[in-house]
Structures are given as structure tokens and as C-alpha cells.
Homo-oligomer: A and B are copies of this chain.
Amino acid sequence: MKIGVFDSGFGGLTVLRSLLSIVPQADYLYLGDSARLPYGSKSPQTVAHYAASSAKFLHTKGIELLVIACNSASAVALDAIRSAVPIPVIGVIEPGATTAANLSRTRRVCVIGTQATIASHAYSNALQTHGLEVKEKACPLLVPLVEEGWTDHPVTEQVARIYLQELFSECEASWIDGVAADTLVLGCTHYPLLKPLLSRILPEDMQMVDSADAVAHQVALVADLNQRFKVSAGSCSFFATDSLEKFRTLGARFLGQEIAAVELVTLPE
């Protein structure tokens, strides 16, 4: 079974990492659109346009299923991507929201992510259909801090504290009955690398949810349901639209293992 995994850059490799662990018997084709990253600060139209051309590229490589391992693209471009390719497409928002809904006891959830993801209210909408109350906060500095390698740095801790304090103040102002959120959705594939740091800042009874494992389980489900998919020995190919060396070195941190080879591709506009 050939599975495409698409992200604007490196973050989606945290999703591929979960996929390799939960659905190992598949051939993965990962595309990072690193020439046009970041998607998180761009308009929905531009993100949809870029994501659709990336999806088409992976489809020409023979994938049977596509995972959008990018919160910004999942949030604003899932429909455009589904129109662009005639195969099943799984985004990260719905699986992440469902996991949070299953875990939250207070039925109140917080979400952090990029500007594009938060402005789309995609998590908020998905969580509300599960009957949860939601507060969201864009944290645009966290991606550059992770990419600088400052995943356990005092500056990153200070920035995270500022963002989360603003978020929790808003929760307290809105939820005057004193019942707090007990779940924080990490709505960006870079944020799993900040889990140790965030766990020091968050209230003790607050749990973190990232979409990676949830997506991998949904892929496993789709693969099981579709008898036409053939089990394969398992492989990974990597494609990027820019900066191959950076993809290899930075990507290894997200994937949790070495990346042997990356192929440069040029996507049509």
C-alpha cells in the first residue's frame, strides 16, 4: 500500500513517525513543500492552491491514500485537496479533535496553533460538534523557536508562558463557573517537540493531545477496511521543494531517525 504524507515542511514528519510505528507495512511517500513554507502565516486561498498542487504531485507517484500532515492545510484546504485527487484524503484536525473529545472530562478544551489554523476555527468547529467548549490561541513564534532548535530553552519557555497565560486568562474570564479546560490540543505538528517544556508550564491536571497517533490509527482503520490495499514490506521516500540538506538535518529531529535521501522536486504553480 502506497501512502502519501504531505506537509509544508518538516513538522509532518512527527505524523510520519507515528504512522511508521502504527502502520509499518506500507510504502510512504513524504512531500515537504519547503520552498513555499510556512503555510501557517498565509491566506486560505494561497494555502489551498499550494496544497492542491502538492497533492497532485504525490498522486502522480501512485499513492492510494493521502495524509495531510499539516494543520494549516488540513484546516483551510481539505476540500480543495479532496477535489484535486481521486483518492481518500485524511487530515489531522478531525482525528485530533475526536481524541480530545474522548479524553476531556470537563468538556472544555484549549487549542494552540499557527495563525492560519486558529483563524480558520477548524478545531473549534470540530470540537463543538462533539459538544465541547473551546478557547483558541495562535502562537506564531513557537514554530521558528522549534526550527532554531530551542525546544528546551528558557526563551521558548518564556514565550510559551506568555501565550498560555493569555489563553488561560481568557478562559477564566469566559468560564466564570470555575470549571477549567483539562485538555490542550497541540494544533501544529511542530509542537510535539515542545511536550517536555509544555508539561512544566501546564496545570498538573491538563493533558496534551497531538494528532499524530490519532491520524495513524485512522489510517490503520481505512487500510483494514479496504481489502484492495496490499500489505508491503514498508519503505519511506522523501521529496522536498527546497533545501535538501536542511530537510535532512532538521527533519531527523522531527522523524526521530536519520533521513538517508531526499529528492528535490519542482511543483507547478
Question: What residues make up the interface of A, taking CB atoms closer than 8 Å to B?
Answer: 34-36, 41-43, 45-46, 140-141, 143-145, 147-148, 154-155, 158-159, 162, 241-243, 246, 266-269
Given A143-B144, A154-B158, A155-B162, 18 more pairs with CB closer than 8 A: A35-B42, A35-B46, A41-B147, A41-B243, A41-B246, A42-B242, A46-B241, A46-B243, A140-B144, A140-B147, A140-B148, A141-B144, A141-B145, A141-B148, A144-B144, A155-B158, A266-B269, A267-B269
**Roughly how many angstroms separate A242 CA and B45 CA in the complex, as a whole number?**
9
B residues less than 8 Å from A36 (CB atoms)? 35-36
CA distance A147 to B242 in the complex (A): 23
With a 10 A CB-CB cut-off, give which of A34, A243, A246 has the most chain B CB atoms: A243
Interface pairs (15), CB distance under 8 Å: A34-B42, A35-B36, A41-B243, A41-B246, A42-B242, A43-B242, A46-B241, A140-B147, A141-B144, A143-B144, A155-B158, A155-B159, A155-B162, A266-B269, A268-B269
| Copies of this chain held together in the complex | 2
State in angstroms the CA–CA spacing of A8 and B269 once bound together: 17
| Across-interface contacts of A42 in B (CB, < 8 A) | 34-35, 242-243
